[in-house]
Structure formats: structure tokens, C-alpha cells
Amino acid sequence: MQTRESEAQAPSPAPAEHTNADVPPQVGQVLALQKSAGNAATGRMLQRWSVLPDWLPTPTDPLAGVFEAAMQTNRAMADRIEVPPYYRQKLIEYSEANPGDGLMLLPALLRGPKFYNGGWILDVQTGAKAMTLDTYIFVRGQLDLKTYIHELVHVTQYATVGRSGFLVSYLGLSAATVAKRFIMREPLNMMESSPHDTQAYNLADRFMAWWANNA
């Protein structure tokens, strides 16, 4: 996650034209229910269902299905951003000059990350400039270069520890609590000094120091 206070001066792309993502039918049903009845009523109804859809929490992995639903519902209400080729070019150049950091950045590119402007995740995380959900990055406003680098570190972290492992470690919460907050669209309240965010901030700072001399 990149907070608003950590914005950097760098070229910023304009949001691309909105594209309608293919949303699973059950996710669409929840979206419609939330629109008509509100988040709290939706959460109560989900908790009363006797047979849970496969995308809701399970005892073995409370985040597995709810995470997928969160990604898809955010995509459905966000606008796709096309990342400037310049960003990718500088990432590759930096990785060649700094292979240690390249081990965190290049795998993210191979995962095919996609950037979006908006999404409800940013409505509940009011202090965040961006939030990454696996390979989907949701940005508030324009995408600057430092945010691009910062969030790609998170993309690799997700691949390393898994979706549930990343969020539990990142937020300092139980998987069940994270799942509940996703369903209810409540703030996630990232823990202070998250090692994942510290790593992303430090790498992005090193990148920007290098970029100042290699723009």
C-alpha cells in the first residue's frame, strides 16, 4: 500500500477508458444486494446463509473465496490504467543495475499486473493512495512512478507468501477477521511497521534516488 503522504514527483499517465470486467454471477448478486440494502444488511444476510458459495470463507482458508470476490468487485467499479512504457523501461534498467532489487521487481512484471483507478477498497482505506490485491493494483488518482514501483514489490510478495499469508502478515489480523472486513467493506487498518510495506517503501526510495540520476 502507498499512502497519500508518500506521493513522489514523476510522470503520471491519464486513466484509460473504463472497461467492464467479467464479474462472476454470484459476485454480481452481492453487488446488487449491497446497492439496494447496504453493506451491513448484506453482511448479515451472508452470515445467515446455510450453504455458502465457494467464494465465501471456509474453515481451511477463510480468505480464499472472499479475496477473489474483493478483487472482482473492485475491478467492476474501477477504470483500467495503461502503464506508460517509460515506467517499465526504467524498472528494467534499474533491475539490471541493482540485481538484488531486481529480484523483487522483475517477477512482478512476469505476473502481468494490472492497474486501475478507483475501487471500493480505496473508499474504505481513506489514507491509502494505492492498494494491491495480488496482481491487481487500485490507485487513487493518477499513477506516479514511485507508486508503480512500490506496489509491484507487493505483487511479488503475494507470489512469495500467498494471498492469505500476505494479508495476515501485512495487516496483523487473523484471516477470519480480514475476511469479515472484506465482506462488510470495513477499513483494514494496516498494522504499523508492516515488514511488507517497509520493504516496499525502502526499495521504492532506492529506485527514486537512482531515477533522479537516470531519468
What is the reported pTM? 0.73
As a whole number of angstroms, the distance between CA 53 and CA 99 comes to 44
152 and 109 Cβ atoms separated by less than 8 Å:
yes
Whether the pLDDT of residue 13 is over 50: the answer is: yes
Average pLDDT over residues 58-71: 76
What pLDDT, in 10s, does the model give residues 93-139?
999 999 999 999 999 999 999 999 999 999 998 888 999 999 999 99
What pLDDT, in 10s, does the model give residues 32-52?
555 565 555 555 554 544 444
pLDDT at 62: 66
pLDDT at 193: 63
Whether the pLDDT of residue 214 is over 60: the answer is: yes
4 and 140 Cβ atoms separated by less than 8 Å:
yes
Confidence label for 8 from pLDDT (cuts 50, 70 and 90): very low
105 and 94 Cβ atoms separated by less than 8 Å:
yes
Domain segments of the chain as ranges: 20-214
Q: Which of 24-38, 131-145, 172-186 has the highest mean pLDDT?
A: 131-145
As a whole number of angstroms, the distance between CA 13 and CA 6 comes to 18
Whether the pLDDT of residue 168 is over 90: the answer is: no
Reduced to 3 states, what is the DSSP secondary structure of residue 167? helix
206 and 146 Cβ atoms separated by less than 8 Å:
no
Per the model's pLDDT, the better-predicted residue between 161 and 27 turns out to be 161
Beta bridge partners of 91: none
211 and 95 Cβ atoms separated by less than 8 Å:
no
Per the model's pLDDT, the better-predicted residue between 23 and 69 turns out to be 69
As a whole number of angstroms, the distance between CA 161 and CA 158 comes to 6
201 and 6 Cβ atoms separated by less than 8 Å:
yes
